[in-house]
Amino acid sequence: MSAVQKDGMVSEREAMDLLGEVVAVKSESELGIFEGAIVDLYARKMREIGMEVDVFEKVTDRPNIVGRLRGTGGGKSIMFNSHIMVPSSRYEDWKTDPYVPTLIDGKIYGMGVSDTKAGIVAMLFAARDRARRRPKGDMIIALGAGGEGGGFIGTKAIVERGVRADTVVVCEPTELNIVYVQYGAIWFEFTIKGKAGLTGAGVNAVHKGLPLAQAIVDFNKTINARTHPLLPPSRVSVNYFQGGGGQTYNVPDRCVLRADRRIIPGETLESAKAEMEGLLKDVRARDPELDLSTEIPLELPAIEVDKNALIVREATAAITEVRGSAPELRGIRGFTEMAHIVPSGMEAIVCGPASTAVIHAPNEYVTVSDFMDAIRVYTNLTRRITDMAK
């Protein structure tokens, strides 16, 4: 048993009780259940620990919360980060009450336990441990509104507020392995205009859009050759194609196409957008009368942190001490709040309890071992960092 397990151990009962409080408060912004109530709970828990608490909004009624334990001075700082919202799933498909964590065969079932309430609870216990020990460096918990939309009203707003730390852990589920590489993303929305009429008349916007959709699909032949050892290849996917008002006999006067472009380290947002402009130029050359406009609702850079960075080394040591074996160093095909944190000059990893295989779905769970180990790992890592001299 490691020192961090023996010294200041959190019991499974105590951990389950706090997780139960957190899971009972709904925070499913996709269903219009916004973050106010859960932020009130987190604020109360942080203040009980002794943290300075800052609650603020980038968007009305969508609060962010930052809690800080100030060190005695001269030490390095660590920040734990997560989105606050919980991806929703159909209540009727749950085999247990989704708002009461239920233990079955070593698994804790509950809405949001894996994404990311178990990780947030682990942060709070790590903060409590540090509050009792007066560290040299600061320990910060930064929780942002939203999440699935890219963290722009949450973590990006926190970074823009000037919140900084020497090291950062994003608590998305990784089964307590370490992710230091992630995809970037650009979402393109194309609107193609035609002219309404009966079949055989007008200008069919769907027909106008089909060559564009095929050109985007075919572009994968070029970019799939770009690879990274920890990620799938560079790629683009047409994920939405809609046109017409539902009448079979009417020619649609408008068509909307949405494409998700994922980029790997080595590619940039600028280069990916320039490539798409080149593709559009070719499509327009084949159809000079094409009436097309483009919007970009989201763009996030690809991220790769130095695998020898302090946070990678110390997290590896903390996990190894708690679990008895070293974690895997991985990439993630999605995007996380690292997309805002790393470009602001902070070094970060993604490391949290549970698996991405069970998120965004009914009967979401985290194993007891992952949950309890997350508490120990976050506590161990926080001690290591905040006791380290600048």
d(CA 77, CA 390): 9
Residue 192 near residue 254, CB atoms below 8 Å:
yes
Amino acid at site 330: R
pLDDT in single tens digits along all 390 residues of the chain: 344 444 557 999 999 999 999 999 999 988 889 999 999 999 999 999 999 999 999 999 999 999 999 999 999 999 999 999 998 888 999 999 999 999 999 999 999 999 999 999 999 999 999 999 888 999 999 999 987 678 999 999 999 999 999 999 999 999 999 999 999 999 999 999 999 999 999 999 999 999 999 999 999 999 999 999 999 999 999 999 999 888 899 999 999 999 999 999 999 999 999 999 999 999 999 999 999 999 999 999 999 999 999 999 999 999 999 999 999 999 998 899 999 999 999 999 999 999 999 998 999 999 999 999 999 999 999 999 999 998
Bridge partners of 54, per DSSP, are 66
**pLDDT at residue number 306:** 98
DSSP 328: P
Is there a contact between 172 and 115 (Cβ–Cβ < 8 Å)? yes
DSSP class of residue 252? P
pLDDT of residue 8: 56
What pLDDT is recorded for position 2? 44
Q: Which domains does the chain have, with CATH numbers?
A: 3-182+302-386 (3.40.630.10), 184-300 (3.30.70.360)
- Going by the DSSP 8-state scheme, the letter that residue 346 receives in this structure is -
- Residue 364 identity: E
Whole-number Cα distances in Å, 278 to 157, 222, 272: 33, 13, 10
104 with 193: CB under 8 angstroms? no
Look at residues 33, 148, 175 and name the one whose alpha carbon lies nearest to residue 82.
148
Question: Cα 167 to chain center, whole Å?
Answer: 17
State the maximum Cα–Cα separation within the chain, in Å, rounded to a whole number.
79
Q: CB of 327 within 8 A of CB of 178?
A: yes
135-174 in b/e form (b: 16+ CB < 10 A) is: bbbbbbbbbbbbbeebbbbbbbbbbeeebbbbbbbbbbbb
Tell me how far CA of residue 321 lies from CA of 121, 298, 340, in angstroms. 21, 39, 30
